[in-house]
């Protein structure tokens, strides 16, 4: 299910251009991942690449329902889903 674009833009603002991942399984023990992201690099496999991801089951398309992740964390999070 695609995240509404307005929610992605609001989540980007909330993230401040940094990855929001806080998963301990990704090595973020004391704080969130702070990889710097570039807005124009959405989905790009380059430095600053990122993707939006639902935090929970999508109920409403809001900035609080999705998080902005660097592609490394995004791919790890997707892989985590298959191991549950």
Judge whether 63 and 10 are in contact, CB under 8 Å: yes
Q: Report the distance separating Cα 80 and Cα 36, nearest Å.
A: 23
- Mean pLDDT, residues 10-34: 89
- Mean pLDDT, residues 1-18: 90
Is it the case that residue 83 has pLDDT exceeding 80? no
The set of residues, in sequence order, having a beta carbon less than 8 Å from that of 84 and lying 6+ positions away, is none
Domain boundaries, the chain: 5-82
pLDDT band at 39; cut points 50, 70, 90? very high
- Mean pLDDT, residues 44-71: 80
For the chain, the farthest-separated pair of C-alpha atoms sits apart, in whole angstroms, at: 33
């Amino acid at each position: 299910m695609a995240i509404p674009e307005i929610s992605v833009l609001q989540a980007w603002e909330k993230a401040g251009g940094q990855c929001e991942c806080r998963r301990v399984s990704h090595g973020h023990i004391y704080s969130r991942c702070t990889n710097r992201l570039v807005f124009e690099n959405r989905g790009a496999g380059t430095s600053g690449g990122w993707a939006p991801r639902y935090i929970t089951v999508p109920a409403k398309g809001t900035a609080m329902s999705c998080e902005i992740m660097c592609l490394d964390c995004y791919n790890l999070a997707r892989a985590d889903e298959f191991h549950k």
